[in-house]
C-alpha cells in the first residue's frame, strides 16, 4: 500500500509499505479521509516531538475491514481518536488523561492515517453513520480538541468572545461559541476567512489587533487564540477585558517563546489557560458532526491524493486554505 512517512526531520515521502497486520486489540481500517493539520507541518520541521519513520496522519476516519474480536462489524465507518493513554499513571488517575505520561498518539508515536490502511486500537474507534459524508469524519479530531478548549473557556450566554485565527480550529471555535450564546468576533487577516467566519456565526470581524480593540475597546470576556503564532499569543491577553479569560488552542513550535507583561495580567486579573488535545471529547465531537450541529463542509478547501500529501505537508498551505483532506482511496 501507499503511505506518507516522515523518514526523519525535513524528509517526508510517500512510499510503498506492507499493509499492516492488526495486533491484539486492533482493527484494520481502510482510510477514507485524513486531514492535514498544522501539527503535521511542525512534525516535518522537527518542532513537535515524534518518532522518526512513522506514517503521519492523526485526523482520520474510514471503514473497518477487519474487526477481529472488537465487536465492531466489518463495513462500519469509524472516526479514530488518536490518543491512547495508559490509565495507570498519576495524571490518568487524576482524570487528566490528556497529560498522560505514556500517551501513544497515532500519527506521531505510531503509524497513522496518511495511508491506504491503518491498524488502530479498537477501543479508540468511535462508530459513525455509514450515511455520513466520508470527508466529514476527518473533522472529529480537530473538533474534539476545540471542544476541550471551549470547555476551559466556559462561554456564558451574552459574553463577548474574540476568536483569533481563521483556520479549522478558529472556525470551529466560532461555531461552538455561537452555540453557547456568545457574541462573536473573528480576528483574521484573510478577508475570505472573515466572510466565512460571519457565515458560520461570527457577528463581527477584524483584521488586526488595532481593529479588534477599536470595535471592543473594553475587550472580550473570552479570547480564544487559535492561530498558533507568537504575535497572536502575545497580544491575546491585551484584547481581554479586565477579569477576562484567555484560552490558547494554537500550537507553537517547541522552544518558541512570547513576551507577556505579568503586571498587566495581575493588575487586570486575566486568567490564561492552555488547551492540549482531546480528553473525553471525541465522542461528543463525533455526535456533533453526525447531527450537523457543526458545519464542516465549508472548511474543506481541497482534496488531494497520497501522492500529493508529502509535498502538501512540506510546504506552506496556499493563501486562504482552511483544510486539505487526503483521500487515500482515490489512488488507482
List pLDDT tens digits, range 7-22: 999 999 999 999 999 9
Domain with CATH 3.40.50.720 in the chain: 144-274
Region of poorest pLDDT, from 37-41, 68-72, 302-306 = 68-72
Superfamily assignment of 2-131+296-330 in CATH? Medium-chain alcohol dehydrogenases, catalytic domain (3.90.180.10)
Residue 105 CA, distance from chain mean position: 13
Percentage of the chain with pLDDT > 70?
Answer: 99
Confidence band (pLDDT; 50, 70, 90) for 330? low
How far is the C-alpha of 175 from the C-alpha of 155, rounded, in Å? 12
Residue 8 CA, distance from chain mean position: 23
pLDDT at 69: 85
Confidence band (pLDDT; 50, 70, 90) for 329? confident
How many CB atoms are closer than 10 A to CB 164? 31
Please, what is the average pLDDT of the chain? 96
Confidence band (pLDDT; 50, 70, 90) for 116? very high
Identified catalytic residue from 14, 39, 76, 281: 39
Q: Is the pLDDT of residue 298 over 60?
A: yes
Could you give the C-alpha distances from 266 to 235, 260, 269, 305, in angstroms and in order? Answer: 16, 11, 5, 50
Is 144-274 in CATH node 3.40.50.720? yes
**Any catalytic annotation for residue 39?**
yes
How many CB atoms are closer than 10 A to CB 25? 13
**C-alpha cell, 19:** 499493509
Q: Is the pLDDT of residue 270 over 60?
A: yes
**Any catalytic annotation for residue 42?**
yes
Identified catalytic residue from 42, 58, 109, 148: 42
Instruction: For residue 3, list its beta bridge partners.
Output: 15, 115
pLDDT at 68: 83
pLDDT at 8: 95
pLDDT at 50: 87
Burial 218-253 (b: 16+ CB within 10 A, else e): ebbbbbbbbbbeeebbbbbbbbbbeebbbbbbbbbe
Q: What integer is the mean pLDDT of 208-219?
A: 98
Contact 313, 16 (CB under 8 A): no
Domain with CATH 3.90.180.10 in the chain: 2-131+296-330
How far is the C-alpha of 169 from the C-alpha of 182, rounded, in Å? 17
Amino acid at each position: 500500500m501507499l503511505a506518507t512517512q516522515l523518514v526523519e526531520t525535513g524528509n517526508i515521502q510517500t512510499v510503498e509499505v506492507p499493509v499492516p497486520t492488526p495486533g491484539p486489540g486492533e482493527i484494520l481500517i481502510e482510510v477514507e479521509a485524513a486531514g492535514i493539520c498544522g501539527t503535521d507541518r511542525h512534525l516535518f520541521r522537527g518542532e513537535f516531538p515524534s518518532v522518526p519513520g512513522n506514517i503521519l496522519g492523526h485526523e482520520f476516519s474510514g471503514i473497518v475491514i477487519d474487526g477481529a474480536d472488537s465487536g465492531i462489524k466489518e463495513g462500519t465507518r469509524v472516526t479514530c481518536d488518536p490518543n491512547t493513554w495508559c490509565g495507570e499513571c498519576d495524571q490518568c488517575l487524576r482524570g487528566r488523561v490528556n497529560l498522560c505520561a505514556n500517551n501513544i498518539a497515532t500519527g506521531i508515536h505510531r503509524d497513522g492515517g496518511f495511508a491506504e490502511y491503518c491498524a488502530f486500537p479498537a477501543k479508540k474507534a468511535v462508530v459513525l453513520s455509514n450515511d455520513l459524508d466520508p470527508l466529514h469524519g476527518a473533522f472529529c479530531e480537530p473538533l474534539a480538541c476545540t471542544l476541550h478548549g471551549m470547555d476551559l473557556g466556559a462561554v456564558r450566554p451574552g459574553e463577548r468572545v474574540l476568536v483569533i485565527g481563521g483556520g479549522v480550529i478558529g472556525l470551529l471555535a466560532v461555531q461552538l461559541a455561537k452555540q453557547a450564546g456568545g457574541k462573536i468576533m473573528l480576528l483574521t487577516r484573510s478577508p475570505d476567512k472573515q466572510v466565512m467566519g460571519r457565515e458560520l456565526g461570527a457577528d463581527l470581524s477584524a483584521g488586526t489587533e488595532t481593529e479588534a480593540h477599536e470595535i471592543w475597546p473594553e475587550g472580550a470576556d473570552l479570547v480564544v487564540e487559535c492561530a498558533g503564532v507568537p504575535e497572536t499569543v502575545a497580544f491575546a491577553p491585551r484584547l481581554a477585558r479586565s477579569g477576562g479569560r484567555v484560552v490558547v488552542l494554537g500550537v507553537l513550535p517547541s522552544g518558541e517563546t512570547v513576551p507577556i507583561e505579568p503586571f498587566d495580567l495581575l493588575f487586570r486579573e486575566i486568567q490564561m489557560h492552555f488547551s492540549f488535545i482531546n480528553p473525553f471529547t471525541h465522542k461528543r465531537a463525533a455526535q456533533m458532526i453526525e447531527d450537523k450541529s457543526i458545519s464542516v463542509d465549508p472548511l474543506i478547501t481541497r482534496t488531494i491524493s497520497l501522492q500529493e500529501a508529502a509535498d502538501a505537508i512540506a510546504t506552506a498551505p496556499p493563501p486562504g486554505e482552511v483544510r486539505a483532506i487526503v483521500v487515500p482511496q482515490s489512488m488507482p
